């Protein structure tokens, strides 16, 4: 039995690139929630989100310097995740359908985007925490 195809497929601009360029775009797509199209559609939200990104980066920097406890960083990261859901729904309203190595994308519902962003940020946050902890820069 085959898996049903999405009713609303989307092809990001990089979907047909060579494997190396495609991987580079995928990494950028996961780490940078904004798009040029999103900047044109919702300038205030995008400007606000860039400010929030700077604040989150500053909090991670302060945590690395040992000036902020881990719980505060977790709170900031959760707040950023909620904000990123809104930004991605405006800028990049698609998710990958199927395995991570595939190139099938579809429109994202709010729940799809919430699950994607929360899981992605859980992995990124855990990696950052483990990295800071292993360097002795974070006390939990």
Residue 120, domain extent: 16-134
Residue 140: per-residue pLDDT: 59
Residue 11 lies in a domain: no
Segment 57-62 long-range contacts (CB within 8 Å, at least 24 positions apart): 60/128
- Percentage above 90 pLDDT, the chain: 13
Which structure tokens are listed for 119?
């899981």
Residue 8 lies in a domain: no
d(Cα 20, Cα 28) in Å, to the nearest integer? Answer: 13
Residue 47 lies in a domain: yes
Residue 35 lies in a domain: yes
* Sheet with 9-10, edge to edge strand ranges: 9-10, 105-107, 94-96
Residue 44 lies in a domain: yes
Residue 68 lies in a domain: yes
Q: How many domains does the chain have?
A: 1
Tell me the pLDDT tens digit for each residue of 34-43.
776 655 666 6
Residue 72 lies in a domain: yes
Tell me the pLDDT tens digit for each residue of 74-131.
788 888 898 889 888 988 888 888 887 888 889 999 999 999 999 999 998 888 888 8
Query: What's the whole-number mean pLDDT along residues 61-67?
Result: 77
């Amino acid at each position: 039995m085959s898996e049903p195809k999405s009713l609303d497929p989307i092809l990001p601009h990089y979907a047909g690139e060579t494997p190396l360029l495609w991987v580079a775009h995928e990494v950028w797509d996961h780490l940078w929630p904004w798009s040029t199209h999103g900047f044109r559609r919702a300038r205030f939200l995008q400007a606000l989100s860039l400010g929030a990104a700077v604040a989150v980066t500053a909090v991670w920097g302060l945590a690395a310097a040992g000036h902020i406890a881990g719980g505060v960083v977790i709170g900031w990261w959760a707040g950023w995740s909620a904000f990123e859901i809104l930004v991605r729904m405006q800028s990049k309203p698609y998710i990958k359908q199927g395995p991570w190595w595939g190139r099938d994308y579809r429109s994202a519902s709010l729940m799809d985007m919430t699950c994607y962003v929360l899981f992605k940020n859980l992995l990124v946050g855990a990696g950052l925490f483990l990295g800071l902890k292993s360097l002795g820069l974070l006390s939990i």
